[in-house]
Structure 1
Amino acid sequence: MNRKKIYSNWFMVPAMAVFTIFFLLPMVISLFFSLTVWDFHSFTFCGFDNFKTFFSDSSLYSSIKNTMIYAVLTCVLKLFLAFFLAVFLTSKIKTKNFLRSVVFFPNLISTVAVGITFCALMHPSKGLINHVIELFGGNGMDWLGNTHTALYAVILTDVWKGVGVATVIFIAGMQSIDKTFYEAASIDGANAWQSLKAITVPLSRPAMNSVIILSFIGGLRTFELIWAMTGGGPGYATEVMASTVYKQYAAGYYGLSTAGNVIMFILIAILAFPLQKFLLSKEVD
């Protein structure tokens, strides 16, 4: 019995080696260097001074607020848009395979390329979006230069790019639902809305939970799109935690930026793990 147990445990070694080398070891090293002032040649231990300095940064609280707004809104918008797109794309329309490809296409484009493209589209005087608004009698605006609209403009761009993946996850979840549930509901006289509410929504919950977790964590650690479109500006209007950490690293404050990464990791863990546990508890057995 013991020999069989030892034999089966050997199959865990590759996975544990990958986990240790690429996750556990870098995490321990990052934690150590967050307690130092370091460059690429030497380091000096400084205790928790980096964390004190990081929390005293005037932009930190606005970056945390923006990060939370970004994560929540992108998660909610992707969730609802992807769900109803998936319902439409699993219906009996003839062109659904083509439309699925169209919906997923934005995810194939580089995030930086998407950011540059939407910067051009949202240009206050030359952008296509403002030209279309003016064509219908409205007034164009400086989408990325206005402190009140910049963050939401980036959020909408993120949703446009990321809704395709969420839709594919929902489609996979909906296609796994046994068709006999819908047949039974139809025999009982349920209409399309009642079937959607009583069958599709509860039985799609595993897919829904995956979309929520992935979108929320992705929003918390967002960087590329923010940096490509606004660089964290104007002012601190679109500053997020990842861009704050990057600016410190670019300025040569390596220990401080490492401390910021540790704080960001802890924040994501504190928010993501309870959320995941809550969502799993709501799944239909």
Structure 2
Amino acid sequence: MAVATAGAVNAPKKSRVKDRQASMYPIWLLYPAAAIYGILFLLPTITSLYYSLTRWTLFNSEFIGFDNFIQFFQEPFLYQALINTVIFAFVTSGLKVVLGLALAVLLTSPLIARDFLRSVVFFPVLVSTVGVGITFTILMHPTEGVINETLAMIGIDGPGWLVDRNLALYSVALVDVWRGVGLATVIYIAGIVSIPADYYEASRIDGATRWQQFRHITLPLVRPAMFTVIILSFIGGLRLFDLIWTMTKGGPGFSSDVMASVVYKQYQSGFYGLSTAGNVVLFVLIAVLAVPLNMFLNRKVVTR
């Protein structure tokens, strides 16, 4: 009887040891990913934080504390760049969310050559951003561009898309929407096709119209895909640089400057520590705006 009792006592201990060993197994699989993440993200981030507090060149550095940040915030056009960055992010992400959903609904309905049209919509995503910028810079030329020449043929005086201080930022934003709406559309399509067809069949039996199906079935069930599009588009809009630099270089004047272009201009001028401090400010800006938005959207997904 004593032997049986001892065996019963030892059995849970052995099972706990086995469970602990089994639970440790997946942790080992995380080490390679953690090492890559540390080398490619954490180490450069920590290094940037340090060098933002220095006056540095390729060969030496001098610790100067927060002087770079003080000087950066004294830049005369910094606040304009901050406002432009937020405006650009909201305009581009908003248009991608709406247009991407509209295109996804269209491209999941019965259409002739539907697969071909999906490829056409996604194609701009595959094109180099610099190539897109150069192409649209030519197309939007105020006097010789195809867009204004086409408008002139129907009696409309085309605007100075990239030379008007009031239009330059929004012109680049429209080009970014054209280039990136294909990715949003693909994400939406993946969300729509995952909705069970039984829901639509039941709604048709009950006499629901297309609009009622969209409002009460498609729109609620595609929300996770919508939130993904919002986060990706918003962060992409906050950090965009290459398209703006290719098309306007922040001009005319400083009317289309964003945070990334201001940082690059400081780097071009040889103020490496100052540009590093600007990168840190941009990183904080993205975190302050995107992290709460992501938390809010994730909470909406969980509670519904």
TM-score bracket relative to the smaller structure: over 0.9
1: CA distance, partners of 2:98 / 2:123: 19
1:45 corresponding residue in structure 2: 63
Q: Tell me the matched-pair count.
A: 285
- Partners of 2:249 and 2:183 in 1: how far apart? 25
1:117 matched to 2:149? The reply is: no
Partner amino acid, structure 1, of 2:256: T
Q: Tell me which residue corresponds to 1:191.
A: 209
Q: How does 1:1-285 map to 2 (within 5 A)?
A: 1=17, 2-283=20-301, 285=304
Structure-1 separation of matches of 2:25 and 2:167: 59
CA distance in 1, matches of 2:26, 2:151: 64
Select the structure of larger CA radius of gyration: 2
In the superposition, the TM-score normalised over structure 1's length comes to 0.98
- CA distance in 2 between counterparts of 1:182 and 1:189 reads 10
- Aligned equivalents of 2:118, 2:148: Cα separation in 1: 29
Distance in 1, Cα, partners of 2:67 & 2:218:
52
Moved more, 22-31 or 4-13: 4-13
**Secondary structure of 2:301 counterpart:** coil
Deviation at 1:132, TM superposition (A): 1.0
Identity among equivalent pairs (%): 55
Which secondary structure state, in structure 2, belongs to the residue aligned with residue 58 of structure 1?
A: coil
Deviations 1:153-190 (A, max 9, x none): 10100001100010000000100001111111112211
Q: Given residue 253 of structure 2, which amino acid in structure 1 is its aligned partner?
A: G
Q: Work out whether residues 202 and 283 of structure 1, in 8 Å CA contact, stay in contact via their aligned partners in 2.
A: no
Distance 2:46 2:239 in 1: 20
Q: Distance in 2 between matches of 1:187 and 1:281?
A: 34
- Give the CA RMSD over aligned residues: 1.0
Q: Which position in structure 1 is the counterpart of 2:7? A: none
Gaps of 5+ in 1: none
Kindly provide the CA deviation profile for residues 115-145 of structure 1, in whole angstroms up to 9, marking residues without a partner as x: 1111110111110100111111111221111
Deviates more, 1:234-243 or 1:274-283: 274-283
**Which of structure 1's runs of 4+ aligned residues deviate more than 2 A?**
1-8
CA distance in 2, matches of 1:12, 1:111: 34
Instruction: Measure the CA separation in 2 of the matches of 1:240 and 1:168.
Output: 28
Spell out, residue by residue over 1:184-232, the C-alpha distance to the aligned partner (whole angstroms, 9 max, x if none).
1112211000010001011001110110000000000000000000000
SS at match of 1:283: helix
Where structure 2 has 5 or more consecutive residues not aligned to the other structure, the ranges are: 1-16
Q: What is the rounded CA distance, in whole Å, between the counterparts of 1:275 and 1:14 in structure 2?
A: 30
Partners of 1:135 and 1:98 in 2: CA distance: 31
Cα distance in 1 for partners of 2:240, 2:42 equals 22
